[in-house]
Structure 1
Amino acid sequence: MSEIWLVRHGETEWSRSGRHTGRTDLPLTPDGEAAAAVLGPALASTSFAQVLTSPRRRAHDTARLAGFSDAVVDDDLVEWDYGDYEGMTTTEIRESVPGWTIWTHPCPGGESAQEVADRLDRVVGRAREVDGNTLVFAHGHSLPALAARWLDQPVEEGRLFRLGTATTSVLGEYHEAPVMMRWNSPVT
């Protein structure tokens, strides 16, 4: 039984302040770098047939600091494209769109839920094709969306899976059914 391990990148200035960070390529904060380095020993006891990372600096740097500098960049792992809402907080968006969430409303100038699902389905396919575990470094909305797709759910069901920075989650199978084995586990 193969597993897919999900790691959200370490803290950035915008993740700390709740700003939607899709295309903006921010570095990790010093705290984010320290948390990424702690991930390495926690992940070292598991073998991975493939290690993938979003091309965004924050995810790629988290992979490198965790000891996976050879992670393969996978453009399908980028964060949700927030379009006109890039850099805004949910509170700011709700001033003009009451009740807005990424899971229930569109992002003008950004990606639709279906576009996100299509690219994350390709990641799920690659993880299921490999003989062994897959390790993925990505983002706070793309990873819950990926989990939803692994579980054969609409991408919008990612709304149920809150994910902190520098945490690990594990998806697998039980009796040939996709399951969540662990979610949002901090590494200390």
Structure 2
Amino acid sequence: MERHLRWHSRFRELLRKQGDYILTDKTRRFKSIILTASFFISFILSVIAYRLFRPPYEGRVFYYPVNTGAKIKSELRVIPIRENVEEQLAVFLEELLLGPASLELTKTLAKGTAINNVAIVEKIAYVDFSRQILNTEKELPISYDEAFDNIRHNIEFNFSRIEKVVFTIEGRQVNKSLYVIQADADY
């Protein structure tokens, strides 16, 4: 009988260990399910929070000529986000007109140049400048054409949907054979 009791106690001990193992395996599965679910819930909440409380600024890359005019360098800035692409482009160009923050770089356009109008039709951007832009060659180490190439590069780099840029000065298209305007003329 003593043998029977030993065998019985060993059997109970073995069953208890297996039960603990099964319970531990269920616990592990439950923990992994809870961990996975909490990960997905936190991810979804993070996306919702970002959409609701997104910062009102976005990063853009601005290209400016070096003071010698020999090459261009980039500068990263943040600008306010606007509702549509035209407003976003207008804010970008206004920021470009302010000039670089770095002292080794120079402005792209002459002092006093203003943006009269910005329009986007399909994939073409139309940018109208004031006539002060004609003073670019007098004030800056880059030519008039290099200034427009730089602005075009800035727009096409930062606004990938725009395929073509058309520049006008007070409503007259740049580099057309009929384009004649004097910087000092009064209208």
Q: TM-score, normalised by structure 1?
A: 0.26
**Structure that is richer in helix per residue:** 2
Q: TM-score, normalised by structure 2?
A: 0.26
Q: Which structure: larger Rg?
A: 2
